Structure 1
Amino acid sequence: MHDSLVLYTNPMSRGRIARWILEEVGAPYRTELIDYGPAMKSPDYLAINPMGKVPAIRHGTTIVTECAAICAYLADAFPEADLAPPLTARGAYYRWLFFAAGPLEAATTDRDLGMEPNTEQQARVGYGSIEAVLETLEQAVSVSEYIAGAHFSAADVYLGSHIGWGLQFGSLESCPAFVDYWARVSDREAFRRANELDDRAMSSVAKHHPA
């Protein structure tokens, strides 16, 4: 594998998003599996990500953390993969990529933790209310085949992952718009390859850390 592009991940993490976008890009890369616990907080890994979390990527001398940033970076670094619209047509692409990273994740996390803002507090919260976020998202995925138009993009990898996980684990209601969108964006060879690689990695991690 090519040492100039490295994925730092754990198969039981958001690293699955980074794996998917790497498989969409199609460039050779090396994987370093980072165990939870001391390894993820070691000085060597903290030099990669001071937060001590995965995923992260290293591309030559460039290090990128945060899944939305990884998706956007790789789409730009490998334009031949055609995962980002032309700059003049990136309004929806950027909008929904960072909508998922901001309002969607914050709203669903707060609700899952029982921390939903009341009516008075909603004006002080970036997403307002979970109802507004989900109504907006349902409309957005119903407008066109993909989130930024007729063409699949890195924004679909990131937003689609949130919706797929939400449907799987119950943090999103299984409405037809979400189900249909997830079926469209996940029906890709790169997604299937990424899942196979991470599932295989999970088996490897389990062997090293038996229950």
Structure 2
Amino acid sequence: MRADRLISILMMLQMEGRMTAAELARRLEVSERTIYRDMDALSISGVPVYADPGVGGGFVLPANYKMTIGGLTTAEIQAVFMHLAGGSFEQLGIGPPLRSALLKLLHALPDQSRRDAEWIQQRIYLDPESWSQDEKTAPYLQAAQQAIWEQHAVTMTYTSREGHELCLKLKPYGLVAKAGVWFLVGETEGNVRAFRLLRIDSLEGKQEERFVRPEDFDLQVFWQEWLEKYESR
């Protein structure tokens, strides 16, 4: 487990650029003391990680440091290729670049790992589409995605579960795909809610109305809490 955690630390530092012990501890669900011990272990093993003290500081890797992906296990390769096989990415319009990225990843793997990935692809296929034709299209998905990327408000009309038509102004925070069914998560009238995209009757972007998404908002945490309330109704 520790070796996996050390690799995770390196990957997060490469992606984020700079992270504090508290941030790493929270993401990896360990204590800050454990993170400091891990940093000592990385330094002893020759990894050039260093601490940048002061306000806004944290642990940093040199800009030219790159970690190879040769250490991926068969189970990790399986998880990556299975997780990225879903059609939800196609609906977002990123199917072609995703396939290109997977191809590059496949060619970057060592020979044995590449054979493992190809073996998995020939034996497991995930079809995320519902049997119901109604679940296949979410007409405002890409418009919602654009509003999220650009952080501008939207106005929309929405039909509730009870059949009531609502006119709402929303600050969109994120999108969630639940078994191929898309939900738009955002703030309206001071409350963060989730809206099923197929119940949205119209959606219009308000590019002049920009907003800043709260830094402490965690989409995954919100979704799990919302789902518990939804399923308990």
Higher helix share: 1
Larger radius of gyration: 2
TM-score by length of 1: 0.26
